[in-house]
Each structure stands twice: as C-alpha cells, then as structure tokens.
C-alpha cells in the first residue's frame, strides 16, 4: 500500500511540476510595432552644429543617440534641422540609441524634394525581425505632419535602431523619441502562468490527501 501511494505521489508530482514549468517558461507571442496614431515625445537635441558629415550624435534628455546618413549633411544645434549638403542628396538616416533598452517610439517631421512616401524600418532589441512601414501621400517642398512608430502597449519592445528612407529628403527635423513603457506579460503568458500556479496548488492539496 505504501508503495502504491509513493508511486502515485511521484506521478502526480512529476505531472504537476511539468505543467508549472510549461506555464512559467512558455514564450509570449512576438510583439510588434505599429504606426503611431499620436506621434510625439522627447526632443532629440544636437549638442553642436555639424558641417558636411555622415555621422553625428545628439541626446534625448541625457541619453545619446548616434546618427548615420547616406548623403552628407549639415545640422544646426539644439532641436535642429538635418539638411543635405549643397548639391548633395540625403536618402537615408539611421538613428541608433546607445542604450537599446530605452525607447519605445520614434517620430519626426521633414520635407521631401518630390512628393511621395517615406519608409521607416525599426529593429527592436528583443531579436524579432525588423519591421518596415510606408507613410504615403507626403508633399514636396513643404513640412509634412509628424509621422512615427510605437511599440504596442505592454509589449516591452525597445528600439535598437530605426531608419528613415526617401529618394531625396530636403530636410529632416523635429526628431522625437519616448521612453518605453514597462513591459506587461502577454495574455497568453498570463494564462499559462496561471495554469502553472493552479497546478502547484492542486499538487499541494493532493499531497495532503495522500498523507491522510
């Protein structure tokens, strides 16, 4: 009788612990960035004006963001414009925060040499595939409304780098970032975690009954 109880106890324990481990370690669904319906944030400020460069840095608050461009640029200082050099073409800018766990959204304004679209590609720091977004219907030679991307609420995704592309920017200006919101577990993860905890509780109750 004691052997039967022992075997039953081992079987129950193994099964419940496996369920608990599954609930605690299951991966959440990949989170995604989306187009920001209300873009804005903390200003990206350039410490010093730059002339005829393809790399420079600025700060969002006290946090450094590095910028690399395809086509050399001139910049002002502060919350400043980024413009192609005279007779040059600016087709791409890549913004890379030094701290890749900090920012959850990015936005900017600008002007295009020709009416068209801007492609925004964001790479997160969580290992998911890069995502690209196209913002169409933008005018030529006039500031377009602020556009940007944001991590879905509760995802905990952060920006490793973000690239903006067009055949020819006349100017890029008023770049903003915002700090990422605290991560919240995905609903599926919460369900699995709950299942694991329920399993642990059931195991304790069964153990008490076996010991009676």
pLDDT tens, per residue, the chain with 212 residues: 545 444 445 444 444 444 444 444 444 445 589 999 999 999 999 999 999 999 999 999 999 999 999 999 999 999 999 999 999 999 999 999 999 999 999 999 999 999 999 999 999 999 999 999 999 999 999 999 999 999 999 899 999 999 999 999 999 999 999 999 754 444 444 444 455 545 545 546 655 555 55
Per CATH, is 33-179 categorized as 2.60.120?
yes
- Which pTM was predicted? 0.74
Residue 199 is predicted with a pLDDT of: 53
Q: Where are the beta strands (DSSP E) in the chain?
A: 33-35, 42-45, 50-60, 63-75, 82-84, 90-97, 103-112, 116-124, 131-138, 144-151, 159-179
Give the number of other CB atoms < 10 A from CB of residue 184.
Answer: 12
Residue 198 is predicted with a pLDDT of: 53
Beta bridge partners of 60: 44, 63
Domain range list for the chain: 2-28+186-211, 33-179
Residue 181 is predicted with a pLDDT of: 76
Residue 137 to residue 114: CA distance in whole angstroms: 11
Residue 205 is predicted with a pLDDT of: 62
């Amino acid at each position: 009788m004691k052997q039967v109880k022992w075997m039953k106890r081992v079987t129950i324990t193994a099964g419940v612990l496996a369920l608990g481990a599954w609930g605690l370690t299951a991966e959440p669904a990949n989170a995604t960035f989306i187009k920001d319906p209300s873009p804005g944030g903390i200003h990206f400020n350039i410490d010093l004006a730059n002339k005829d460069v393809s790399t420079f840095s600025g700060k969002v608050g006290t946090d450094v963001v590095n910028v690399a461009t395809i086509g050399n640029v001139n910049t002002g200082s502060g919350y400043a414009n980024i413009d192609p050099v005279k007779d040059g073409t600016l087709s791409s800018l890549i913004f890379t925060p030094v701290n890749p766990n900090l920012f959850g959204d990015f936005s900017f304004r600008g002007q295009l040499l020709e009416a068209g679209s801007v492609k925004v590609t964001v790479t997160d720091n969580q290992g998911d595939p890069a995502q690209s977004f196209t913002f169409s219907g933008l005018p030529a030679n006039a500031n377009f409304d602020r556009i940007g991307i944001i991590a879905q609420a509760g995802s905990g995704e952060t920006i490793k780098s973000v690239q903006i592309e067009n055949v020819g920017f006349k100017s890029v200006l008023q770049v903003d970032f915002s700090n990422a919101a605290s991560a919240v577990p995905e609903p599926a993860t919460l369900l699995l975690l709950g299942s694991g905890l329920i399993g642990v509780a059931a195991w304790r109750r069964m153990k008490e009954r076996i010991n009676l």
